[in-house]
Each structure stands twice: as structure tokens, then as C-alpha cells.
Chain A
Amino acid sequence: MARMKFICDAERCIECNGCVTACKNEHEVPWGVNRRRVVTINDGVPGERSMSVACMHCSDAPCMAVCPVDCFYRTDEGVVLHDKDLCIGCGYCFYACPFGAPQFPQAGAFGLRGKMDKCTFCAGGPEANSSEEEFRKYGRNRLAEGKLPLCAEVCSTKALLGGDADVLADIYRQRVLTRGKGAEIWGWSTAYGKPDAPAAAPAPSAGGKS
């Protein structure tokens, strides 16, 4: 079974924010929430590099570990999803996540948090695939339609790739060979452990707990 991952090639990203816009449009995400964002280092000066960032669907996901109601689950493709019917909006996943992926639409005064929302790797949630209910809560389930995440699919420079980690790694390896240097992939050691000591393949956990 494929293990789904994202790669963002910092040598290719041109900060067009196409991935951000595509994601927001495809999933009709709540107001104030951006499941994906592009961050630019050395903006406007020589040495500028941009990177697209969203949930990385970590091997040892911190959000999953700290959730007090255990609402997260991992699909057999390694995608980390959560059940909004269980989420209590405590914000712990937001404290724990290194990438700033979990976000909360404001549900009341004083910043009261609603149900957490984050990137689903275009894989929906625990509801029936492609159901109206699933779309309303989690957005489009493209994986169920045999498609890959839209952010990566629309990327004009193919800086952002999403899909089977082995395939992505082969593509990236080819790029590194062509360039002759720069094998680092941003965020991968944080999300998937050091390449020297790969984290044990995590077991998928049951979805649809509610």
C-alpha cells in the first residue's frame, strides 16, 4: 500500500500561492482557515526561497498523541485524519503541531474555538466517501475518486508533489541528480523522522469512531 506524503521543492516554488487558492476553493474551508500556506524566506532579496506548508501527515503525529478525546486516525495510506463529531476544540493539537496545521474557526466570543480543521490530503473524513456530509465537514474526497491532492496537481512548477512516497522520492532523486546537489527536503525529518533511522511504519488506526 502506498504511503502518502507531500514534498515541496524549495528550488522550484515560485510563491504563486496557487496551491493555497486551489485548496480553499476545492474544499470550501471555513472563514479564517487556510489549510495550506506559502512561506517565503529572504523575501524580495537574493537568496529567496519559498515553501508551501500544510499538514504533513506525520509518521508519529503529535496531534494524534495529545488529543484528549483521541479523535484522530490514520488511513492505511498513512493519511492523518480526524473526526469532527468527536473534536472538542481544545487546541492541544495546535500546541503540539510543528507545522501549524490545525486551525480553529472562531465559534464564539473571546476566541472560543470551534471544531479543528486541517488538510485532509484530499481524503475527506470518516463519513461515507463523497457524501454531502463528508464534503460539508472535511471538503472533497479526491483520493476516493482516484485523484491526488489538488494543491499538488495544480502546482505550475511541480514544486509541490503529493502522492506515494516512493514515487515522490524517485522523482526528487532524479531532480537532485540533474542539479548535482541539494538533497534536503524541507520538513521531512520533522514529519517522518531522520532518514538514517526511519520511524517504524505506523499501524493504521480505526476511523469513524463516533
Chain B
Amino acid sequence: MAYDMTVWRRLLCALLTLCALAFGPAFAADPPPTDQALRQQVQPLNNAPVWREVRSGEAHFTTVKGVETGVLIQSGGQTWRALRNGPITLYGGIVFSAMLVLLAVFFKLRGQIRLSEPKTGRLIQRFTTLERMSHWTMAISFCVLMVSGLIMLFGKHVLLPVFGYSLFAVVAMVCKNIHNFVGPVFILSVLLFIVLFVKDNVWQAIDALWIRKAGGLLSGEHVPSHRFNFGEKTWFWLGVVFLSLTVGASGLVLNFPNFEQGRAVMQTANLVHLIGGLIVMTLSLAHIYIGTLGMEGALEGMQTGYVDETWAKEHHELWYDAARQNQGMEQTPGGLSAPAAVRT
């Protein structure tokens, strides 16, 4: 009998211990009462704590699956709307148009920057095939993105009244799809371009002279420089490296909603994309102008890869001198910082 008692007592002890283990933590983790629970004890029907939760933008419980389905009110959209429909569309449009007018006026006053001496007919290699291909892939995709982007931002105000709803919707649909698929191509070409050109865009002491003389843009004086002058370097670092990568990265955030990023992220990314895009588009107009209409011999350098010796001497004297010294040397594969091949 005594033996039985001990067994039963031991069993009971074990059971109690198990119970304590099983339920103990549950008692300890009992959540503190919610603000709403406390409030309605003292002020029944006062739902202020719940209304605060509604406005907080936090996700709450819902059975509906999806991104942010538990959020009742997301107020960031209002800010996004006000900025996009307001100052970004207005001032972005003004600045972009102003650049077009400015360049037209500049062209009227200054005309094309011509070579001061006649062409020698001797050609000197300025860009390799790979460099030119990366430049034109970037340039063409940039222009496609610029036109489609402009139509999606300003088309409602400019094209819609002319085209009507049905036609403009088709145009905008094509623009959206082109924009989404060409965007990644642009980013890849930008990355390749940076790798190829970064070496010759590092700042050098001679750049100080270019800054002091404002590039000779107004005086017409030719400021000596290495392969790229300070103006080109600025466009490389600001336009290609900083702005294009910023706009590209924010574009990727918008392009791939399948990663389930929330609305706040997309609103911010869209603002960055719009502001960065408008700045880089406006600046690109000046680059396109000087590379085509604005300067004699600039376009053929990027078209053929070769420039005339006169052009090289007048616009990039130090680079030309180095090329002269290397004359006759065989062209080395890959990016060339100092030109080697000379063709007649």
C-alpha cells in the first residue's frame, strides 16, 4: 500500500510539472491590454485609439492575401499625387522646354563651332568599336525612354487633347511597354559604358584651366585637354554615373512589383525617377546639341570612331600630342586611353 502511494505521488508530481511547463509561458506572455480596451473601460464607445490605428498606415489583420491588404489608409499617396501633379509636372515641363529654347537661341547666336583650320584628311582613332557600340546602345535606349517617359508624364496635357482618348491610350500603352522593356537594356549599357570610359574621365590638373576659361564656350578659344575635357567629364560623372544609375535603380523598383514592395517604396522611387529623369533629360539635350548640330566633326568621331587630326588638335590637344608620340604603334585591344592607330 505504501509503495502504491509513492508511485501515485510521483506521477502527480510529474503531471504538475508538465502542466507548469506547458501553461507557464502562456501566462507569462499574456499581452498587455490594448489602448482601445483601456479606453472603452473608462469611456465606452470612444474609439479614438482605433481611429489612430486606422490612420497609422500599419498593417492589421485581414484574411485577404496580398501586399499591404491589412492597411486601411495609406496617406503617402496624397503627397505623391500633390508632388507629381503639381511642381514636378509644372517645373519639369518648364525647365525641359526652357533648355530647348536656350539651345535654339544659342545656335542662332553662336552657330556651329567650326574648325579654325582646314581638315588634314589624316584620321586618328578616338573610339574603339566596343566603345561606340556601348555609347549608341545607351544613346538609342535613352532616347526611346525619354520620348516614352515624356508622353506618359505630359501626354495627358499635350497629346490627349489632339489625339483623343482611344488613340492616346494605344500610344501610351505602347510607351509603357517599351519603357518597361528598354529600361533594363539602358541600365546594362550604362554599366558597360562606365567600365569602358571611367579611366579617362578621372579628373586631371589641366581641368582647372578649362573651368577657369569656361571651356572657351563663349570666347571661342580652344582649351587644351587630354582625351576628355572637364565638360565631358562632368557629363560622365553627373549624367551617366550619378543620374542614369539613380534613375535606373528607381526604375527597377517600379518595374518589378513582383518583389512585393509596398506603396511607400514605390511612391518614393517614382518621385526619384521623375526628378532624376527630368534633370538628366534636360542636360542630355545640351549633350545631344553639342554632339550633333553644335560642333563640327564631333558626331563623326562617335559615328566612325575616327576624327580628323585638325579636330583632335583643336579640341583635345594633349590627347593629340600623346597620339602623335605613339604614332605607328600597333593598336592594343580593349579600351585605349592613348590613341595609337592613325589612318589616312
Chain A contacts to B: CB under 8 angstroms: 10-11, 17, 20, 32, 34, 37-43, 45-49, 51, 53, 62, 65-71, 83, 85-91, 94-100, 103, 106, 110-113, 179-182, 184, 186-187, 190, 209-210
Contact = CB atoms under 8 A, between A and B. Distances in A.
B23 interface: no
Contact of B47 (A10, A95, A111): A10
A68 B156 CA distance: 6
A34 B37 contact: no
B71 interface: yes
A71 B169 contact: yes
Nearest to A190: B73
Contacts of B54: 41, 51, 186-187
Contacts of A40: 60-62
B45 A182 contact: yes
Contacts of A112: 180
Contacts of A20: 63-64
Contacts of B45: 11, 179-182
B50 A209 contact: no
Interface stretch (B202-210, B216-224, B251-259): B251-259
Interface residues of B, number: 62
Interface string B81-92: 100110000000
B73 A98 contact: yes
A42 to B, nearest CB: 5
Contacts of A43: 60-61
24 contacts: A34-B66, A37-B64, A38-B63, A39-B60, A39-B72, A41-B60, A42-B50, A42-B53, A45-B33, A46-B33, A46-B34, A47-B34, A47-B50, A67-B156, A68-B153, A86-B166, A90-B152, A91-B266, A95-B77, A96-B78, A98-B78, A110-B256, A187-B73, A210-B169
Nearest to A87: B169
B255 A110 contact: yes
Contacts of A106: 258
The 9 closest A-B pairs by CB, nearest first: A47-B36, A111-B258, A47-B37, A46-B37, A43-B61, A209-B165, A37-B64, A181-B45, A86-B169
A86 B257 contact: no
Given A88-B172, A180-B45, A190-B73, A66 B165 contact: no
Interface of B: 31, 33-40, 43-47, 49-51, 53-54, 60-64, 66, 68-75, 77-78, 80-81, 84-85, 152-153, 155-156, 160, 165-166, 168-169, 172-173, 176, 180, 254-259, 263, 266-267, 270
Contacts of B36: 41-42, 46-49
Contact of B80 (A49, A68, A96, A182): A96
A210 B165 contact: yes
Contact of A45 (B34, B47, B68, B173): B34
Contacts of B38: 47
Nearest to B71: A100
Contacts of B254: 91
B51 A69 contact: no
B256 A49 contact: no
Contacts of A45: 31, 33-34, 37
Nearest to B56: A41
A43 B60 CA distance: 8
Given A69-B155, A85-B166, A99-B73, 19 more contacts: A10-B47, A37-B63, A40-B62, A41-B36, A45-B31, A48-B36, A68-B155, A69-B160, A90-B176, A94-B263, A95-B267, A95-B270, A100-B71, A110-B256, A111-B256, A113-B257, A179-B45, A181-B44, A187-B73
A62 B73 CA distance: 13
A137 B28 CA distance: 53
* Residue of B37, B75, B153 with most chain A CB atoms under a 10 A cut-off: B37
A32 B31 CA distance: 34
A38 B31 CA distance: 24
